[in-house]
């Protein structure tokens, strides 16, 4: 169990830094098509924002309750990624061939661009949730108690 940090400097800086980190993560995620970045890095940065909030404000604070709840959705990222592939198959093509996404009024190249954005969101959700989940697993109460007692 991680307790809230005592120092007011850390808490104030955390309140300032965490939104900046999250917005930078979203920027990296959605501008991965136009510059360096993409789903994996964006997901890790989003997860790092949540990890920072857990490390600063502790497990029980309402700010990190969201991070704890989000763990129950561990497979959502995979579902988004594979679901886009399934939609392509429904559209009449191969698995993950984004040109077959059934969206009227879009050219083939734009459909593939949209497919890239959607699958990147899937990767980002999966990576962010997994990073936070591993941190929660490593800081579980029982492990710390075991290492102190034995």
Partner 1 sequence: MTFSVQILLLLLLLTTAAGAIMVKDLMSSVLLLGSYSFFLALVWAWIGAVDVAFVEAVVGAGLATVLFLLTLFGTAPKDTRLRRPPPSLTTLIIFPLLGVLLLYAAKDLPAFGDPNSPASVHISPTYLEQSYQDTNTPNVVTAVLMDYRSLDTMIETVVIFASGIACALLLRRQV
Q: Which span sits near partner 1 by CB under 8 A: 11-19, 62-70, 110-118?
A: 110-118
The yes or no reply on residue 22 touching partner 1 (CB under 8 A) is: no
Query: Which long-range contacts does 22-28 make (Cβ < 8 Å, 24+ apart)?
Result: 22/46, 22/49, 25/49, 25/124
Q: Which is nearer to partner 1, 63 or 118 (CB)?
A: 118
Q: Which is nearer to partner 1, 36 or 66 (CB)?
A: 36
- By the 8 A CB rule, do 53 and 14 touch? yes
Tokens of 66: 């969201």
- By the 8 A CB rule, do 47 and 64 touch? no
Q: Which span sits near partner 1 by CB under 8 A: 4-12, 58-66, 128-136?
A: 128-136
The yes or no reply on residue 24 touching partner 1 (CB under 8 A) is: no
- Interaction residues for partner 1, span 74-103 (CB under 8 A): 74-75, 77-78, 81-82, 85, 95-96, 98
User: Which residue is listed with tokens 């790092």?
Assistant: 48
- By the 8 A CB rule, do 117 and 34 touch? no
- By the 8 A CB rule, do 58 and 67 touch? no
Binding site for partner 1 (CB under 8 A): 28, 32-41, 44-45, 47-48, 51, 71, 74-75, 77-78, 81-82, 85, 95-96, 98, 108-110, 112-113, 115-116, 119-120, 122-123, 126-127, 129-131, 133-140, 142-144, 147
């Amino acid at each position: 169990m991680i307790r809230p940090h005592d120092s007011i400097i850390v808490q104030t800086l955390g309140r300032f830094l965490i939104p900046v980190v999250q917005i930078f993560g979203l920027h990296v995620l959605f501008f991965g098509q136009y510059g360096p970045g993409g789903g994996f890095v964006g997901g890790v940065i989003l997860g790092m924002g949540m990890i920072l909030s857990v490390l600063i404000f502790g497990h029980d604070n309402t700010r990190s309750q969201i991070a704890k709840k989000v763990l129950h959705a561990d497979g959502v990222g995979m579902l988004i990624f594979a679901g886009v592939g399934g939609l392509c198959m429904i559209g009449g093509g191969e698995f993950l061939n984004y040109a077959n996404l059934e969206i009227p009024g879009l050219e083939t190249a734009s459909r593939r661009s949209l497919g890239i954005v959607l699958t990147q969101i899937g990767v980002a959700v999966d990576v962010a949730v997994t990073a936070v989940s591993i941190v929660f697993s490593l800081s579980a109460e029982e492990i710390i108690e075991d290492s102190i007692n034995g």
